[in-house]
Structure 1
Amino acid sequence: MRIALLATVALLASSAAYAQSASPQSVGGEHAVLKDLAGQVSETRQRATIQKLVSFGTRHTGSDTKSDKRGIGAARRWIAAEMQAASKDCGGRLQVETPSRIMTAERLAGPTEVVNVVGVLPGTSDPGRVIVISGHYDSRVTDPKDFTSDAPGANDDGSGTAAVIEAARILCKQQFPATLVFAALAGEEQGLLGGKILADWLSAKGWRVEADLNNDIIGNTEGMSGVRDNTHVRVFSEGTRSTETPEEANRRRYNGGEVDSPSRNLARYLDVLADRYLTNLDVVMVYRTDRFGRGGDQVELLRAGYPAVRITESTENYTRQHQDLRTENGIRYGDVIEGVDFPYLAQVTRLNVVAMAALALAPAPPTGVEIAGAVSPDTTVKWKPAPDAAAYRVWWRRTTDPQWTYSRVVPPTGQAVLKAVNIDDWFFGLSAIGADGHETPVVFPGAAGTFERGGVKPAS
């Protein structure tokens, strides 16, 4: 079978459509399993989830932890119970953990236990490779230290938490080669504390984290001007790696890579998936780590060296974020459930579900990607072949283009030569294709683009 597959790849090496035509699960370039998973997202379940989260009054990280009805303690126990219920429905495969730490912060009254609720769906053949979805379940009002006033947090970030829980319910019924992690985080409003706990927890596991999809404020469609936008979602991604060394920065400044971090190519991957699998939802890539001067839990994952993006609604309404519940001059302030557009939230959740499944079903991103071709009319791409990749796709684009535009499928030999494609004029990348046609994000050559946390391992 291996010989036959290689022969097929060789015959079709010039065809950019090989990945689609090779897959028995795909129709017209689409994988049926991803379509099916997207169709399982329920607006009704997500509405019930946010209604329950709002019912706890406040989920401030410093709020009551003893009550069963009010405060962050009741909220986290309920989230854990929801994940346990999802695990029961999928044969006990979803493992629920609650990594925590006593932390201090300027926005906390004193040392406080910050608890994340995490569901882990172990991978079948490559469990050390990990895809994460995250959202924070804590909430706040105008004063970030106020832990007693009602802080419904319906959209910020009940919406992201609802996406995490819904993704866990759907995806734990499937089996994937890679491990999936569903993380509901606390302490975001006090300084990304839950994100720090998550990053350290992932590191302690020794896992190869391929992506974190951080969902923060994904349910509102009405802007402060009254204009609605329910057809776009923003994906923020850093341009250069947070862990870049001075030597790597010098090389990147000279040869390029400012817009090709693994997080940036993950954002491009999401954009393609939205176009292929969703109706009336377009990804707007924003070339920033987060909104101007603001942050989210994905920042802590980036600081730890993991690829991560922030997914957030297209149109924010600041009268509904970090506000005391009140009415002034006819304007109702506060993050109440009426501000959540549930059909839109379901669409954004579908994007997450499709992305997690697509990433987990594809091979691991290529490693050891290098290019050569100085003073040559041709460009040579090298990489370290992996046993889970049936073929590779070489990509190139003009240095001023935002998206990859040209590609060629090549055999898994570890080297490909692009004849008459001058290395000076183009940016290059490489993706891996599995035997069933699932494909990875594009990997830009060298340290600037590697998905590996610990730096580049040269091709052998």
Structure 2
Amino acid sequence: MPPARLSRTLLAGLIAAATTSAFAAQAAAPDVSKRQPEIEKAVSEISAKRIEAYIRKLVSFGTRHTMSDTSSDTRGIGAARRWIKSELERCGAGTRMQVTYDSYVDQGGPRISRPTEVVNVVATLPGTQPESKDRMYVVSGHYDSRVTDVMNDTADAPGANDDASGTAAVMEMACVMARHNFDATLVFMTVAGEEQGLLGAKHFADQAKKNGWNIAGMYDNDIIGSSHADDGRKDDGQVRLFAQGVPPGKEMSEALRTLVTTGGENDSITRQLARHTKEQGERYVKGFKVNVIYRTDRYLRGGDHSPFLANGYAAVRFTEPNENFDHQHQDLRTENGKVYGDLPEFDDFNYIAKVTKVNVAGLASLALAPAAPQKVGARTDKLENDTTLVWEANQEPDLAGYRIVWRETTAPFWQGAKYVGNVTEASVKLSKDNYFFGVQAVDKDGNVSPATYPVPKR
């Protein structure tokens, strides 16, 4: 056989083999669009009736002001936190969930008039996969409450929406999810001191940073109780999810400078967490919209996710679509036939259950999926219209491979994806001039991590 002919034959064979391998790899790609049975079951177990019972019990303590009574068994923040702890211990009995107090003494400040113990109630569900158990996802609600005067620690402050709604959601998540297994660790936290300056959350986030904890994502649930606006409109079909882009600061770190230089202002780790949460939440809670808001929080306001953001963690906040300020931070009263105050009759327990289900879907999908790929880079060592991405290999034993995702520069959410197999480098025939890219890790069951934005790599 002439050498030229042999060469063509071999080339044809190599092309055929490569094509076959590519098709085989594509065929072997896990189904990332299917609904995972474990997640579906956990979501279905969320109960609006239990959430209502939790909220009414929290309201029954009269006030949960951070400086309120701690000795009574029936009134004040001390009774409230002891009940929260005992309830989490009761519903977690026989599971791996561990319930503890996390506390410190605040010496005082603008909203604390005397040394006060600030106590978080923390329920931890350890991950079952050795390679993933150090990766943590935190979800919180604050159980303290207030009236018009933030220093008034004796008046009745029911706090049914702000934030018994978030506290009840976290308790319900903990009680349901404790009976399921997840690769990564879940931390269910009810915090105090939010109304006095985000004190409990700041203490926890600062300790996490100091101790080097791997918090891969944080959800804050604050004011998720009402589906009615102040003008009477009802909207029980969506929740706002606030997600920070470029963090504010006097100085810009090298990593942040690279993000901005490459146009990635909309690709912070928090925005990636929000994209993932929206996708998973809407997949498992049909007909319900997760409305991502490109702000850290409501206009010039803040919540318990803020200290996590300040410590460099990805953190987002869930809040109802339309706040009614007649039932928030108000002294209890009736004026001209109008009732003011944060009372349970203004909560929509079925709505809270929907938001809780979105949380469960997001947390479960995060804790079952591999970690987001690390050291993701876009090759820039030669001029080309294709885009080549590289990354560091994940260590999870159930890893199947990776996906490259992309979207146009004006699009908020991913528009395309390509499964590239268990490799650490791959190319797509799209220009990095015109698209934003990310890399996701995929396990054999089709659980997908949030995307990681690539930095330039020569």
Query: Does the TM-score normalized on the shorter chain lie above 0.5?
Result: yes
Task: Tell me: CA distance 1:361–1:370, structure 2 relative to 1, closer, same or farther (3 Å).
Answer: same
CA distance in 2, matches of 1:12, 1:401: 31
Which one has a bigger Cα radius of gyration? 2
Q: Which amino acid in 2 is paired with 1:410? A: V
1:380 aligns with 2:393: no
1:119 maps to: 123
CA distance in 2, matches of 1:8, 1:221: 53
- Cα deviation for residue 418 of structure 1 reads 1.1
1:75 aligns with 2:75: no
Question: Is the CA contact (8 Å cut-off) linking 1:159 and 1:216 kept in structure 2?
Answer: yes
2:224 maps to: 218
Unaligned runs of 5+ in 2: 1-18
Question: Is the CA contact (8 Å cut-off) linking 1:136 and 1:157 kept in structure 2?
Answer: yes
CA distance in 2, matches of 1:245, 1:83: 42
1:11 aligns with 2:11: no
Question: Is the CA contact (8 Å cut-off) linking 1:220 and 1:313 kept in structure 2?
Answer: yes
Q: Deviations over 1:397-419 (max 9, x none)?
A: 11111111011001222100113
Q: Deviations over 1:89-126 (max 9, x none)?
A: xx241111111111122111211110000001111122
Q: Deviations over 1:354-411 (max 9, x none)?
A: 1111100000111011112462111111100113231111011111111110110012
Task: Tell me: CA distance 1:233–1:12, structure 2 relative to 1, closer, same or farther (3 Å).
Answer: farther
1:415 maps to: 425
CA distance in 2, matches of 1:225, 1:127: 47
Task: Tell me: CA distance 1:431–1:242, structure 2 relative to 1, closer, same or farther (3 Å).
Answer: farther
Unaligned runs of 5+ in 1: 1-6, 22-27, 448-457
Q: Deviations over 1:256-309 (max 9, x none)?
A: 111111111111111111221112210111000000011000000111111100
Which range moves more in the overlay, 42-51 or 268-277? Answer: 268-277
Q: Deviations over 1:189-214 (max 9, x none)?
A: 00000111120233355321111111
Question: Is the CA contact (8 Å cut-off) linking 1:241 and 1:305 kept in structure 2?
Answer: no
* SS class of match (1:226): coil
1:29 maps to: 34
Which range moves more in the overlay, 193-202 or 259-268? Answer: 193-202
Q: 2:96 aligns with which of 93, 103, 114?
A: 93
Q: Which amino acid in 1 is paired with 2:279? A: V
Task: Tell me: CA distance 1:368–1:242, structure 2 relative to 1, closer, same or farther (3 Å).
Answer: farther
Q: 2:438 aligns with which of 419, 429, 434?
A: 429
1:4 maps to: none
Task: Tell me: CA distance 1:181–1:381, structure 2 relative to 1, closer, same or farther (3 Å).
Answer: same
CA distance in 1, matches of 2:240, 2:21: 36
1:45 maps to: 50
Q: 1:265 aligns with which of 269, 272, 290?
A: 272
CA distance in 2, matches of 1:328, 1:12: 71
1:402 aligns with 2:412: yes
Which range moves more in the overlay, 148-157 or 95-104? Answer: 95-104
Q: Which amino acid in 2 is paired with 1:261? A: S
1:139 maps to: 145
Q: Which amino acid in 2 is paired with 1:67? A: S
Total equivalences in the alignment: 433
Question: Is the CA contact (8 Å cut-off) linking 1:141 and 1:322 kept in structure 2?
Answer: yes
* SS class of match (2:53): helix
Question: Is the CA contact (8 Å cut-off) linking 2:402 and 2:423 kept in structure 1?
Answer: no
Q: Which amino acid in 1 is paired with 2:452? A: V
Percent of residue pairs bearing the same amino acid type: 46
- Cα deviation for residue 12 of structure 1 reads 5.1
Q: Which amino acid in 2 is paired with 1:441? A: P
> RMSD across aligned C-alpha pairs, in angstroms?
2.0
